């Protein structure tokens, strides 16, 4: 007996509600459908369906068997897909960690496009606002934003990460617009707990560091964005997050003569040896997608 086909017949009979309907869907004769059901019941050692002239219903054994048959059919489909892929095609699980803000705004969409290109790959994204140990937490790729990475890390640069000082029009109407970096000390500034309360700016290639203070801090830039949109204060936000709100006028960029410190965005991984095709192709894909001059910066 072809047990996979028998399972497909059983599932189709249950889903369609009758052997006749299942026969039509599977392009089989009614006697062949009946034979597959009988052989599956013989193999299982239990009756799977109550058969009456009016309807079919599952027995207790059939109710247990049905989800397992579905799982077996899904596994069979996966196996056929894998065999059909080229030998060097990316396949398998890829675990990626990324900050919540970048993961939600850009990486999730990129991953969706990647798995369409490589359907044999499954991606598990961990949105975490902390640095993880790649080996201990079984991470294949970490997306990190940093000025300088630990030289012991293996990394590939993906793109640049710029920031912008900005605030809502409502906040500026009520509290005024700073024109000099030093005036930030007179405002309520929304700070990121990871980067601290000193904003690193440059003017004419000279550093201008400003100690700011405010009544809201967070370890997630998306939360600071929402607070800024609500008029709570002035924020220093990554442009990948703030760009659409600057374009719409919901946030206004400030201090155009000053430039916040730039960071690099890197793909960090554990080893160069025996790099799997999933990791290699994901890195290539992200470099190609984000480019040296990212799209979000071109729009503001």
Model confidence at 283: pLDDT above 80: yes
Q: Could you read off the pLDDT of 249-267 as tens digits, one per residue?
A: 999 999 999 999 999 999 9
Model confidence at 87: pLDDT above 60: no
Model confidence at 93: pLDDT above 70: yes
User: Three-state DSSP class for 87?
Assistant: coil
Model confidence at 176: pLDDT above 90: yes
In angstroms, the CA 236 to CA 43 distance is 67
Q: How many CB atoms lie within 10 A of CB 44?
A: 18
Model confidence at 82: pLDDT above 60: no
pLDDT at residue number 90: 85
Q: Could you read off the pLDDT of 3-58 as tens digits, one per residue?
A: 888 899 999 988 888 888 888 888 888 888 888 888 988 888 989 888 776 678 88
Q: What is the mean pLDDT of the chain?
A: 89
Q: How confident is the model at residue 147 (pLDDT cuts 50, 70, 90)?
A: confident
pLDDT at residue number 80: 67
Q: Could you read off the pLDDT of 204-262 as tens digits, one per residue?
A: 989 999 999 999 999 999 999 999 999 999 999 999 999 999 999 999 999 999 999 99
Model confidence at 78: pLDDT above 80: no
Q: Could you tell me the two tokens for 58?
A: 């599952």
Q: How confident is the model at residue 119 (pLDDT cuts 50, 70, 90)?
A: very high
pLDDT at residue number 1: 60
pLDDT at residue number 30: 87
Q: Which whole-number Å values give the CA distances from 215 to 88, 175, 187, 197, in the listed order?
A: 54, 15, 10, 11
Any residues with CB less than 8 A from the CB of 234 and at least 6 apart, and which?
165, 166, 167, 171, 178, 184, 187, 188, 189, 190, 214, 228, 254
Domain ranges (residues) in the chain: 3-84, 92-161+263-298, 163-260
CATH class of 92-161+263-298: alpha beta
Fold of 163-260: D-Maltodextrin-Binding Protein; domain 2 (3.40.190)
Class of residue 42 by CB neighbours under 10 A (exposed 0-12, middle 13-18, buried 19+) = exposed
Mean pLDDT of 172-182: 96
Fold of 3-84: Arc Repressor Mutant, subunit A (1.10.10)
Any residues with CB less than 8 A from the CB of 249 and at least 6 apart, and which?
169
Would you say the CATH fold of 163-260 matches that of 3-84? no
Model confidence at 290: pLDDT above 60: yes
Q: How confident is the model at residue 91 (pLDDT cuts 50, 70, 90)?
A: confident
Mean pLDDT of 264-287: 89
Model confidence at 83: pLDDT above 70: no
């Amino acid at each position: 007996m072809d047990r996979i086909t028998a399972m497909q017949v059983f599932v189709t009979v249950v889903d369609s509600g009758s052997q006749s309907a299942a026969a039509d869907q599977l392009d089989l004769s009614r006697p062949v459908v009946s034979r597959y059901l009988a052989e599956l019941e013989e193999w299982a050692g239990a009756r799977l369906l109550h058969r009456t002239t009016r309807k079919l219903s599952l027995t207790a054994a059939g109710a247990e068997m049905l989800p397992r048959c579905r799982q077996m059919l899904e596994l069979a489909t996966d196996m056929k897909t894998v065999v059909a892929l080229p030998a060097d095609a990316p396949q398998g699980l890829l675990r990626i960690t990324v900050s919540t803000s970048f993961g939600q705004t850009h990486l999730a969409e990129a991953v969706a496009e990647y798995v369409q290109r490589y359907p044999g790959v499954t991606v598990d994204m961990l949105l975490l606002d902390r640095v993880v140990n790649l080996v201990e937490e079984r991470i294949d790729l970490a997306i990190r934003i940093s000025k300088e990475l630990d030289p012991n890390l293996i990394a590939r640069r993906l793109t640049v990460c710029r920031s912008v000082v900005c605030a809502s029009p409502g906040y500026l109407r009520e509290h005024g617009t700073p024109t000099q970096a030093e005036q930030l000390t007179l405002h309520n500034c929304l700070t990121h707990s990871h980067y601290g309360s000193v904003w690193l700016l440059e003017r004419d290639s000279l550093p201008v560091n400003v100690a700011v203070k405010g009544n809201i801090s967070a370890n997630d830039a998306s939360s600071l964005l929402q607070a800024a949109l609500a008029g709570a204060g002035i924020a220093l936000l990554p442009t990948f997050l703030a760009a659409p709100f600057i374009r719409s006028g919901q946030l206004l960029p400030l201090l155009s003569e000053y430039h916040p410190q730039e960071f690099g965005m890197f793909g960090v991984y554990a080893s160069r040896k025996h790099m799997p095709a999933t990791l290699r192709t994901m890195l290539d894909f992200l470099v190609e997608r984000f480019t040296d001059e990212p799209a979000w910066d071109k729009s503001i």
